[in-house]
Structure 1
Amino acid sequence: MSGALQKTFTVILNVEFITGNFGNGFIAVVNIMDLVKRRKISSVDQILTALAISRIVLLWLILLNWWLSMFYPGRWINERMFVVIYSIWTAFNQFSLWLTTSLSIFFFFKIVNFSNTIFLYFKVRVKKVVTVTLIVSLFLLCLNIVIINVSENALLTEYKVNMSYSLTLNKTQLSGLWFLFANTMFAFIPFAVSLVTLLLLIFSLCKHLRKMQHSVQGCRDASTTAHIRALQTVIASLLLYAIFFLSLVANVWGSLLLEKKMLLLFTEAARTAFPSVHPCVLILGNTKLRKAFLSVLLWLRCRHKDRDPGVHGTKAYLCGSSCRP
């Protein structure tokens, strides 16, 4: 039974890896081509492109870690390599989390309308708000890496004194447990910010609907539609975000239970779901990306018809003409 579960989770991880690379690569390619064509790029597209690139690197780091752990367990890592690998993983993971949070903040200020003076002040300076958010995230990232390295050095020194300068699996487990605990605490900050933006979006939508009850326009005006679309995207993002955060907590718990294999495989699959599935949510929620994706599907369909020997030449020609921009 455990062998079947292990194979199942391995297949899930492979599917997530392929889906994540395709989705993030598609977002990056579309925005880069748009930049080359128009010679400019919007703030949202800048965030999406940086998010996609960071997640591609993150997915490959996860694959590398999984591959080394599966085929070279206990033979490829020492204390310094451990710190370097997990520091790099921490950097790209924090980039992914905070860029996602910045995207939620950007949607929030662009859609929500409050009469509060402070809110209006930040609304007209939303780009500066996002920039400050990313600067704060860099400070927290540096603090996170410093804590990991300082604590690692302290643990290593103490362990060498007590264990006659030897490094065993228990030391690696202790370092991994501290790394997971520190990253879970720092991952909670962007998660909390995204949760606040979701609650404020819901509050703004309820307030707007109450106003629209006394209006002849009804409830499905442009503002309501924008609120609902933003809520759909943010809720889907936050659900994946919650799964990712809970996977970190479960991973800490799994380390305390002497690394139960099935639990670790489950948490690895759950942790990979956020950078793999979330790009699909972004593609469906973004008009430009959705149209580009549909164009690619139409092009692939036409290519398939062109290669089908049962299709007449005229139909293939018409299909090829419809696929041209």
Structure 2
Amino acid sequence: MIPNQLTVFFMTIYLLESLTIIVQSSLIVAVLSREWVQVKRLSPVDMILISLGICRFLLQGTSVLYNFCYDFNPDDYLWYIALIWEFTNTLAFWLTSLLAVVYCVKVSSFTYAIFLWLRWRILRLVPQLLLGSLMISCVTIIVSALRFVFIKSQLISMMQLPGNNTEMETLTTFLEKNYAYQLLAMLFIPFLLFLTSTILLIASLCQHLRQKRHHDTGHSNSSMKAHATALRFLAFFLIFFTSYFFTIIISTTYHLKHKSYWFWASETIIYATISIHLTSLMLSSPALKKVLKDSISSSPLGISLIILVLFTLTY
């Protein structure tokens, strides 16, 4: 079956977004790894960014491989690739939530005892927290692997018995809903941590900005401008990661078919938010921001990047 023009259009956009994400992830890992080799040390935030870059690279690679292989050969259910995607997606959520928590504790101006204690402890615990995120993702993937084995055994046993089409459809529908609930449970906790940390950081910056307005000097005006830019960045960060979370849940709940252009439209939305999310992360790192400026001044591709950067910072 030849896909229609709308499906081909969304497939093309999805492929371009995937290439962009792979390049962005590779750039994050390459630049920060070079900084690590040169300086002989790595900040806790850069540790998380490198881990997230590797995770996003693997996530996008498995997404492209699974979607196109399944679309052109739907009879071959590539469950092992789906497991890799699920593992990297869960790990990416935990790494993003960890990054939001570190930013919140490091930057916020709250003076509560819990914040002061976390500020003293969390930066030292980042390697252990990264390992904990990896272990949690491994546990979830073991559960998913057991679920896939159960599905396969049940379907094989039903196929051997005649007249069980209704039971097979009922089992498939139940397992699809069960998978949606499992995915929601796996992603909800890290998403809640991300949401809470980002909202607290926005509240802290708003409080600090109100205090700055009482001291109307030239220096405070520049500081207020910097705070306003940081607030726009955080709002941008919050909106797109939240959109990513809900788009994944909705697309999984309704189980869109690969042959449908709605499926490819949902994939386009999901990975557009990832690309914009990675762009915002790159703008938050001084080393990555410097590389972006250098690439802008030395290549035609930099022109398009600077347009995206200026759009992000301005709006």
* TM superposition score category, shorter chain reference: 0.7 to 0.9
Question: Given residue 232 of structure 2, which amino acid in structure 1 is its aligned partner?
Answer: Q
| Change in 2 beyond 3 A, CA 1:96/1:226 | farther
| Cα distance in 2 for residues equivalent to 1:138 and 1:181 | 21
Task: Indicate whether 1:43 and 2:39 are aligned.
Answer: no
List per-residue Cα deviations over 1:43-101 (Å, max 9, x = no partner). Answer: 22221111111111111101101120122121x32xxx51x222211221122121111
1:264-303 pair list within 5 angstroms: 264-300=263-299
| Change in 2 beyond 3 A, CA 1:22/1:216 | same
Give the % identical residues.
25
Q: What is residue 317 of structure 1 aligned with on the other side? A: none
Larger Rg: 1
| Cα distance in 2 for residues equivalent to 1:229 and 1:126 | 26
List per-residue Cα deviations over 1:202-256 (Å, max 9, x = no partner). Answer: 221232234334435585464x56654443333323222222212222223332x
1:169-184 pair list within 5 angstroms: 178-184=178-184
Task: Indicate whether 1:115 and 2:115 are aligned.
Answer: no
After TM superposition, give the deviation of residue 17 of structure 1 in Å.
1.1
Greater shift, 241-250 or 6-15, is seen at 241-250
After TM superposition, give the deviation of residue 174 of structure 1 in Å.
6.1
Greater shift, 286-295 or 156-165, is seen at 156-165
1:10-29 pair list within 5 angstroms: 10-29=11-30
Q: Give the CA RMSD over aligned residues.
A: 3.1
List per-residue Cα deviations over 1:174-204 (Å, max 9, x = no partner). Answer: 6555434422321122111111112211221
Question: Given residue 192 of structure 1, which amino acid in structure 2 is its aligned partner?
Answer: L
After TM superposition, give the deviation of residue 148 of structure 1 in Å.
1.9
| Change in 2 beyond 3 A, CA 1:225/1:128 | farther
For structure 2, list consecutive stretches of 5 or more residues without a partner in the other structure: 301-315
Q: What is residue 3 of structure 1 aligned with on the other side? A: 4
3-state DSSP of counterpart to 1:29: helix
1:1-325 pair list within 5 angstroms: 3-74=4-75, 76-77=76-77, 81-82=78-79, 84-128=80-124, 130-131=126-127, 133-164=129-160, 178-215=178-215, 217=217, 220=221, 222=223, 224=224, 227-255=227-255, 261-300=260-299
3-state DSSP of counterpart to 2:142: helix
| Cα distance in 1 for residues equivalent to 2:98 and 2:293 | 27
1:209 touches 1:219 (CA, 8 Å); kept in 2? no
| Change in 2 beyond 3 A, CA 1:235/1:280 | same
Question: Given residue 295 of structure 2, which amino acid in structure 1 is its aligned partner?
Answer: V
Q: TM-score, normalised by structure 2?
A: 0.80
Question: Given residue 144 of structure 1, which amino acid in structure 2 is its aligned partner?
Answer: T
3-state DSSP of counterpart to 2:41: coil
| Change in 2 beyond 3 A, CA 1:273/1:27 | same
| Cα distance in 2 for residues equivalent to 1:214 and 1:236 | 27
- The size of the alignment, in residue pairs, is 295
| Cα distance in 1 for residues equivalent to 2:72 and 2:190 | 34
| Cα distance in 2 for residues equivalent to 1:205 and 1:140 | 32
| Cα distance in 2 for residues equivalent to 1:187 and 1:32 | 28
3-state DSSP of counterpart to 2:190: helix
For structure 1, list consecutive stretches of 5 or more residues without a partner in the other structure: 302-325
| Change in 2 beyond 3 A, CA 1:125/1:165 | farther
Greater shift, 17-26 or 151-160, is seen at 151-160
